[in-house]
Amino acid sequence: MKSTLIQADIYQAIKYIAERLYQRNLLAAADGNISYRMDNGYIAITASGIAKVAIQPDELAIIKLNGEVISGNPSSEKLMHCAVYQKCPTARWVIHAHPPTAIAWTVAKPELSELPGNCISELILAAGKIPIVPYARPGTAAMGENLIPFLPTYRILLLARHGALAWGENWQEALNGMERLEHAAQILLHAEKLGGITDLPSEEIAILQEMRIKIGNKTI
């Protein structure tokens, strides 16, 4: 029988991630969820309806890759986590949060298909392109299905009129992704207020993209 015990260090990592997300205003109330792919293939995920910042060890649910619940009470947003783990064999951690500035870009500019990232060298190098996933009604299968075309290529996904999702091979990578997304969205917002976003020269963008290929498809 597969063990469904959650290691203490995994719980501590989830608690630390939740604290960081709250400190950086990336979550409100009981928003968001954090999950981890266990060695046995099951997924440990934060339970529905609880403030993640004060999470207790017994507030983690266990689900199968197909979303079937083994124990606990995960939210319907588990479908997004399952889509990532199904499509990305190297994904070990998934963080879903509601970064306010990043979401605001999708609300104010629904015509965008990606965050305008060709103006910041660091974003091109450390994260690459950040696509905007079409809106999905909460609680529907579209929440997971809409992610599929973007996986496993992208590790940071902005979800239109909802939030964002970042995955990684370790929890640091997933957390870096979420923090980088909101930070970049804030820089872009300030640039818009100061007169408008200007892209780097196309030759420079091409060089940075080459450098990104050497770094590899990961968030740093």
| Contact footprint for Zn ion (CB under 5 A) | 163
DSSP helix/strand/coil, 179: helix
Our CB check for Zn ion shows the closer of 124 and 175 to be: 175
At closest approach, how far in Å is the CB of 143 from Zn ion? 9
Closest CA to 185 of 165, 208, 158, 161: 158
For tokens 């991630």, what's the residue? Answer: 17
Contacting residues for 22 by C-beta, under 8 A, at least 6 apart? 52, 53
Cβ-based nearer residue to Zn ion, 144 or 163: 163
Comparison of 124 and 182: residue with beta carbon closer to Zn ion: 182
Which residue of this chain has its Cβ atom nearest to Zn ion in the complex? Answer: 163
- H runs (alpha helix) in 35-141: 78-87, 100-108, 121-126
Angle at 210 between CA 205 and CA 214, to 5 degrees: 140
Nearest approach in angstroms of CB 76 to Zn ion is 10
- Considering the complex, what minimum distance in angstroms separates the CB of residue 92 from Zn ion? 21
Residue closer to Zn ion by CB (options 79, 123) is 79
Q: What 3-state DSSP class applies to 28?
A: coil
- Tell me the closest approach of the beta carbon of residue 96 to Zn ion, in angstroms: 6
